[in-house]
Structure 1
Amino acid sequence: MSQDTLTATRSASPRRIAALALPALVVLAAEPLYVLVDTAVVGHLGRVPLAALAVGGTVMTLTAWLGTVVAYGTTGRSARRFGAGDRAAAVAEGVQASWLALGVGLLVAVGMQLGGGALARTLAGGTGEVADAAAQWLRIAALGAPGLLLAAAGNGWLRGIQDTRRPLWFVLGPNLLSAVLCPVLVYPVGLGLAGSAVANAIAQTISGGLFAAALVGERIALRPRPRLIRHQLVLSRDLLIRGVAFQASFLSATAVAARFGAASVGAHQIALQLWFFTALVLDALAIAAQSLVGAALGAGDAVGARALARRVALLGGACGVVFAVLIAAGAGVVPGWFSSDPQVREQAMVAWPWFVAMQPLAGVVFALDGVLIGAGDVRYLRNLTVVSALGGFLPAIWLAYGLDLGLGGIWAGLTLFIVLRLAALLLRLRSGGWAVVGAVR
């Protein structure tokens, strides 16, 4: 047991939690903000390039999601070993995660060269200018996939050893470079849409290279270890299944909203994207929980881990209350930022009370998600998410369609999804079954 780590985790104040969460927030926000810049630059090329970017960007977003799965799985394992006082073993988790990330990234890059055209045609609904442009963008942008996934693995092990400074610069710097390169390559250089893809690939490759260099700088063995990679694959599998349940639920909600008309689906999109934004902020708190709880359990400090879990849950709830107040105050203003259509704004007000009410609950849920990921209790999270989606969210939203409950019914279903997860997470927290001590679980 590391006495320094034991003391640090037991005394983890809101300031210490914020010191881990705020840099993580910047890292989480860097990619979405760059995508907005990229979209604005390409949007001025015309309708076809913008549509092509939307198609190709969807595929790369899924690749980035795979990276998030690798990062979350790595953080918990690395944090446990770090908490046990074995920094070298914590970094070794990063080495194996990086081999896994590099392998998947190379598969994506090669796969897009061979099948990018067919995939683009499928997503674009057939042949034509949009499909051709999307295929070209995708083939170039996919060359950055190995770097993108290496960066995700690097974020995972560095968070595990509670180093949030280097990930901040390793992600923010290349994204700022890309934000400058993109308009230059698209317009003065004259590459058009391809310039956007080149800027993406360059930034992701540089970012991945910086994280790889950080591993080399640790001066530990860099050879692949299949046994450790298999353990990480099990964690990644459970997180992946959990993520698929989320994706299926939200896609179904959008499909049902579309059946209520254009105004309803437009209002749903506004509220949902704002909900995703608040989730992004709360995910930064969850990342801090992953690191601190994993370290406490690795140090053999189950009591400290439970105290941290309660503290993080309270902070998550407090952040949710703040969001609820801000969102309620902006009810008459915020929807107008996204649409001038009075019917869309009217429909947004149908979803708004549910959106406000779920914020404090969601704050606790996201925080406790981070606690259990840090504890390595991913199988429970996987089963909980699947059961809540199949037994709560999906039946509720399709019932809303069958009974013609409109957008309010859909958002009531989302609130039910949050309530079911909250109840099960609180029961798990109270049971203490998640707080298994030791360097590995």
Structure 2
Amino acid sequence: MASITHRRVLRIALPIVLSNATVPLIGAVDTGVVGQLGQAAPIGAVGVGAVILAAIYWIFGFLRMGTSGLVAQSHGAREPAETGAILMRALLIGLVAGAVFILFHRALFALGFAIAPASAEVEALATRYLTIRVWGAPATIALYAVTGWLIAVERTRAVLLLQLWINGLNVVLDLWFVLGQGWGIEGVASASLIAEWSGLGLGLWLCRPAFAGGQWRDWARVFDRARVRRMVQVNGDIMLRSVLLQGAFTGFIFLSAGYGDVTLAANQVLLQFLEITAYALDGFAFAAESLVGQAVGARAVRDVRRASILTSEWGAGGAVALGLFFWAAGPSIIDIMTTEAEVRSVARVYLPWVAVAPVLGIASWMFDGIFIGATRAREMRNSAAMSVGIYALAVLALSGWGNHGLWAALMVMNVTRALTLGAVYGRVEQAAR
């Protein structure tokens, strides 16, 4: 295994940071293009439709993380046949899941509208949008597997290229279909559909080493019972962990509503700071996934420790820098996000919480990357369960502090995740022995 250096960490992390920076672009362009139609309903329809799809696709985020950890270990163990087999298994999961999504899409969309009701006009337009977008489900879910494979083998520049291609093509087709051809909301959906399938095609081409030698057609290996069972177990634990954490964040929004519309709006604005944090620092956690996973596969305990330390140092530095940036530029960012004076004022009151959030949360986020690389998903699941439970107790105990108590409870959850994962870090190094 090559030496783990600061340069190697940055070579993996920085393309991911740049790739993540393009993610918000697509939603902004979709909204902006539809906004040129001069009607409010299409804007709302695209927004509602995108939220429903994001909520469903989010469930399959485990496919990226599980693929990344398993492939990194096989790559570190110099088992190219297994890296190809893992990708094939993940692609099959993605394609089958997408097909099931298409089969049951009417019921899923009806459930989405029941949870987030809108006007009859918006729901009708959103249905037209979703009926087209749903055909991209197999490609979108399979792309999680592609991304995980590329991260595991340190080809994050390819991840950046893939993201730029998908988002860039989407933007060009948006402008052509909607403004040039006058297709309206169907044009936005069609642009996304074409971008998703072409992205999968490009992604498979970027993963061509996984298909070299025909190992991907070694069906005895692809469907090996022990390997499939391990993949299911790892992915299942990661999915449960993610559901628990998403439940905590969803609860945060619901509880915010109890403090009034203005506080709810202010919290929603401030949560965008946490989203920025995730996009900015994900690169270092992904570097940990790749390097720790390869070290575990190579049975190199010292490299596991060095990878954990170096990636965490960069993550901590980034967290401090972000915290200082939010403290200094936060008021200006809030003013950009909302023009409502009362929301601006309330958001400023709670701004210190998001300024300290990167510093208090970085350890838990880095441990996520480290444990994913070591495929210690059970520990991640248990940590999430314990942390969400303590979060619920903290919400009750700090309810007298109002919205400050709610933010404090969220910080308690992140610190608890760090402490519980840190307490069993030894199992990560043990996995490399």
Normalising to structure 1: TM-score of the pair?
0.91
Secondary structure of the structure 2 residue equivalent to 1:162: coil
Specify the alignment match of 2:212 in structure 1.
218
Is 1:172 matched with 2:172? no
Contact (CA 8 Å) 1:120, 1:135: kept in 2 or not?
no
Q: Residue in 2 aligned with 1:397?
A: 395
Q: 1:117 to 1:425 in 2, by over 3 A?
A: closer
Please give the per-residue CA displacement for 1:209-250, whole angstroms capped at 9, x wherever unaligned: 222343475232334516334432222211111111122111
Assess, with a 3 A threshold, how the Cα gap between structure 1 residues 329 and 121 changes in structure 2: closer, same or farther: closer
Q: Any residues of structure 2 matched to 1:152-167 within 5 Å, and which?
A: 152-167=144-159
**Unpaired runs of 5+ in structure 1?**
none
**1:95 matched residue in structure 2:** 88
Counterpart in the other structure of 1:143: 135
Task: Tell me which residue corresponds to 1:129.
Answer: 121
Please tell me whether the aligned partners of residues 84 and 211 of structure 2 are also in contact (alpha carbons under 8 angstroms): no
Which of 18, 31, 40 in structure 1 is aligned with 2:23? 31
Q: Distance in 1 between matches of 2:175 and 2:160?
A: 24
Task: Name the CA distance, whole Å, in 2 between partners of 1:126 and 1:37.
Answer: 22
Moved more, 57-66 or 215-224: 215-224
Say what the alpha-carbon RMSD is for the aligned residues: 2.1
- The amino acid of 2:200's aligned partner reads G
Q: Deviation of residue 100 (structure 1)? A: 0.8
Look up the match of 2:421: 425
Q: Which amino acid aligns with 2:135?
A: L
2:381 match: 382
> Which amino acid is the alignment partner of residue 381 of structure 1?
M
Structure 2 residue identity aligned to 1:21: A
**Residue 58 (structure 1) aligned to one of 44, 51, 56:** 51
The answer on whether the counterparts of 1:149 and 1:208 sit within 8 Å (CA) in structure 2 is no
What is the CA distance between 1:23 and its match in structure 2?
A: 1.6
Which residue is 2:305 aligned to? 306
5 Å matches for 1:286-435? 286-391=285-390, 393-401=391-399, 403=400, 405-429=401-425, 432-435=426-429
Q: Does 1:209 align with 2:171?
A: no
Query: Aligned pair 1:84/2:80, yes or no?
Result: no
Q: Against the structure 1 CA distance between its residues 41 and 400, is the aligned structure 2 distance closer, same or farther, given a 3 Å change threshold? A: farther
Instruction: State how far apart, in whole Å, the 2-side matches of 1:85 and 1:178 are.
Output: 37
For the residues of structure 2 that align with 1:232 and 1:30, how far apart are their CA atoms? 30
| Structure 1 consecutive aligned stretches of length 4 or more whose deviation exceeds 6 Å | none
Does the CA-based 8 Å contact 2:9-2:310 persist in structure 1? no
Q: In 1, Cα distance between the equivalents of 2:268 and 2:345?
A: 14
**1:125 match: secondary structure:** coil
Q: Which whole-Å CA distance do the structure 2 matches of 1:115 and 1:190 have between them?
A: 30
The answer on 1:70 being equivalent to 2:70 is no
Aligned partners of 1:127, 1:115: CA distance in 2, in Å?
19
Distance 1:230 1:102, change over 3 A: farther
Structure 1 CA distance for aligned equivalents of residues 409 and 116 of structure 2: 30
1:400–1:49: structure 2 CA closer, same or farther, 3 Å change rule?
farther
Q: Relative to 1, partners in 2 of residues 1:229 and 1:48: Cα closer, same or farther, differing over 3 Å?
A: farther
> Identity, % of aligned pairs?
29
Deviation of 1:349 after TM superposition, in Å, equals 2.3
For 1:41 and 1:226, the matched residues in 2 are separated by 48
2:33 and 2:179 in contact (8 A); partners too = no
| Aligned amino acid, residue 68 of structure 2 | T
Alpha-carbon distance in 2 for matches of 1:361, 1:142: 38
- Check whether the contact 1:100–1:229 (CA below 8 A) recurs between aligned residues: no
Residue in 2 that maps onto 1:48:
41
How many angstroms does 1:68 deviate by? Answer: 2.5
* Residue matched to 2:9: 17
Task: Say if 1:194 and 1:399 are closer, same or farther in 2 by CA, change over 3 A.
Answer: farther
- TM-aligned CA deviation for residue 133 of structure 1: 1.2
Unaligned 5+ runs, structure 2: none
Q: Per-residue deviation at 1:49?
A: 1.2
Once the two structures are superposed, the pairs formed by residues 113-128 of structure 1 within 5 Å of their partners are 114-115=106-107, 118-119=110-111, 121-125=113-117, 128=120
Question: How many residues are paired up?
Answer: 425
Q: Give the alignment's TM-score, normalised by structure 2.
A: 0.92
Query: 1:29, CA displacement in angstroms?
Result: 3.6
CA distance in 1, matches of 2:295, 2:186: 47
Deviation digits for residues 20-62 of structure 1, max 9, x if unmatched? Answer: 1122223334333212211222233322112211221112212
CA distance in 2, matches of 1:358, 1:125: 32
Distance 1:121 1:385, change over 3 A: closer
